[in-house]
Amino acid sequence: MHFSEELSRKTKELLSAVGHVEHQLKMTVEATTTGFKVVKVFVETAKDTMGKLDKFIEFLKQNFDVIKYILYGVIVILAVLIVLGVQYRFCRMMRSDVVSNKTCSQNCRY
């Protein structure tokens, strides 16, 4: 009797361990499947993004001259604003230092 009880107990432990391993395998398969789904979505998103990036680069290539002239215009406008700002600052400085300087006062209309 003692041997059969021991055998029964060991068999139950073994079945329990097998059930635990089976559960762990199921969880691993589910996690792996989910991981593959995430990677698949990531790859599809990356392909879509690359397609949009290719379209944007093609747009830039087609409109390079227009973009170049717009940038030149912005640079010229910034240069004019900087020159006007320096002139304004210089005139204010001269006006505060030398009140009798009529030339600077006449040129500085701010």
Q: Is the pLDDT of residue 80 over 90?
A: yes
Residue 99 above 70 pLDDT? no
C-alpha distances out from residue 21 to 10, 13, 61, 63, 69, Å: 16, 12, 59, 62, 69
Q: Which long-range contacts (CB under 8 A, 24 or more apart) does 74-83 make?
A: none
Instruction: Kindly list the domain boundaries of the chain, sorted by start residue.
Output: 1-62, 64-110
Is the pLDDT reported for residue 107 higher than 70? no
